Amino acid sequence: MGIPRQVTTIHGHEVSYRLADEDRSRPTLLLIHGMAGSSRTWRHVMPDLAEDHTVLAPDLLGHGESAKPVGDYSLGAYASGLRDLLATLDLGTVTVVGSSFGGGVAMQLAYQHPELVDRLVLVGSGGLGREVSWLLRALTLPGAEYLMPVLFPPFFRDRGDTVSKALHDRGWHAPHLAEMWRAYASLTQAENRAAFVRTLRAVLDPGGQTVNATDRLYLAAAMPTMLVWGDEDPIIPVEHAYTAHKAIPGSRLEIFEGGGHFPHLEDPERFVAVVRDFVATTEPVPNGLVPFRDLLIGA
């Protein structure tokens, strides 16, 4: 994808990441992918964002090329892991950009470690309401993990790559479908499936999302926050964006008309433009934990 993958070891586990432009004088962006995704989801926006930012895109544990240990796959554990990665790479404070499940991780990082977060960008984010696609809910059902080898056999991945290339060669471009196919194809590998199930069940049940940040969204007033959403998102409804926007004083809302669940893939030029403008026109709230403390006391 142009920006090489690197690896570091944290707590004995390999963590894969991509890091573009390590100029510490520039703002740093931390890009967090969604469930069953990887740092590759940012491949169309990282090079442009790196023109005026340091950009870090990790593979979360259990995803991509990072380790897939048996362990804690909760939002809190992911937030702590990102804190440790930032410390290992000595990157300081960051603007956090989280897509889908990565949005839930981004909010958790801001909640647990506000002293590390300059700004918050939520892209088709989880954790803002109960509603979510029926397929993800179905995969939380008891025994679903035993059906996954049948639902996602190895030839599924190979056949998908062939079809995707054929469509591309014929001028058919559907980046959101390609990204979803890539995510589901990763589940053809047993260790990926195990990590996926643990991650999924940490935030969903058959009725929908079980982790909901809406009762704490007022805390996001302590830092600049932007919501980016496709108005035809089939995974997490755009209504979540409007509700969160109303609940976060001073937040910015960017709706991509005709867009789906992956605005950064479907319209990368606009995505880069709105993120760049958001960073350029906002200032991090100083004093770290102080604004959060004041909001909690006043609640």
Q: What are the helix (H) ranges across the chain? A: 46-49, 75-89, 101-112, 134-138, 144-151, 154-169, 175-185, 190-203, 239-247, 263-266, 268-280, 290-298
Task: Determine which one of 21, 59, 118, 233 is catalytic.
Answer: 233
Secondary-structure breakdown of the chain: helix, strand, coil percentages, each rounded to the nearest 5: 45, 15, 35
Choose among 77, 88, 65: nearest CA to 10: 88
Question: Which band of pLDDT confidence, cut at 50, 70 and 90, is reported for residue 8?
Answer: very high
pLDDT category of residue 1 using cuts at 50, 70 and 90: low
pLDDT at 165: 53
The pLDDT assigned to 175 comes to 59
**Angle, helix 190-203 to helix 101-112, in steps of 10 degrees:** 60
Longest CA pairwise span in the chain (Å): 59
Give the pLDDT confidence of 248-275 residue by residue, as tens digits.
Answer: 989 999 999 999 999 999 999 999 999 9
What is each CA distance from 24 to 55, 98, 199, 232, in whole angstroms?
11, 22, 33, 38
Four-point Cα dihedral 264, 29, 220, 257, nearest 10: -20
Mean pLDDT within 203-209: 96
pLDDT digits (tens, 9 = 90+) for 157-187: 555 455 455 545 555 455 555 666 666 667 7
Is residue 261 annotated as part of the catalytic site, yes or no? yes
Q: Are the C-beta atoms of 202 and 74 separated by less than 8 Å?
A: yes
11 dihedral zone (left: phi>0; alpha: psi -120 to 50; beta): left
Q: What is the mean pLDDT of residues 188-206?
A: 89
CA–CA gap between residue 160 and residue 164 (Å, rounded):
6
Number of helices followed by number of strands (H, E) in the chain: 12, 10
What are the backbone dihedrals phi and psi of residue 42, each rounded to the nearest 5 degrees, phi first? -100, 10
Name the active-site residue from 44, 53, 245, 261. 261
Between residues 251 and 144, the one the model is more confident about: 251
Q: By percentage, how much of the chain surpasses pLDDT 90?
A: 67
pLDDT score, position 192: 84
Query: Which residue in the block uniquely carries the two structure tokens 């995505």?
Result: 271
| Mean pLDDT across 73-86 | 97
Average pLDDT on 88-110 reads: 96
Distance CA 203, CA 212 (A): 9
Residue 49 banded pLDDT, cuts 50, 70, 90: very high
Residue 141 has pLDDT above 60, yes or no: yes
- More confidently predicted of 156 and 283: 283
The one-letter amino acid at 292? F
Q: What is the pLDDT of residue 162?
A: 53
Q: How confident is the model at residue 222 (pLDDT cuts 50, 70, 90)?
A: confident
Bridge partners of residue 30, in order along the sequence: 56, 96
Residue 145 has pLDDT above 90, yes or no: no
CA R_g for the chain: 18
Is 118 a residue of the active site?
no
Integer Cα distance of 196 and 200 in angstroms: 6
Cα angle for residues 102, 104, 105 (degrees, 5° grid): 60
Helix (H, G, I), strand (E, B) or coil at 82: helix
> Is 25 tagged catalytic?
no
% of residues, the chain, pLDDT over 70: 82
In the numeric block, which tokens belong to residue 256? 């991509």
Whether CATH 3.40.50.1820 fits 5-132+211-298? yes
pLDDT score for 157 = 52
Instruction: Assess contact for 76 and 66: CB atoms under 8 A.
Output: no
In three-state secondary structure terms, 209 is strand
CA–CA distance, 263 with 126 (Å, rounded to integer): 15
Least confident range from 81-85, 100-104, 165-169: namely 165-169
Take residue 236 and report the two structure tokens written for it: 């997490």
Helix (H) or strand (E) holding 31: strand 28-32
Catalytic residue from among 100, 125, 186, 251: 100
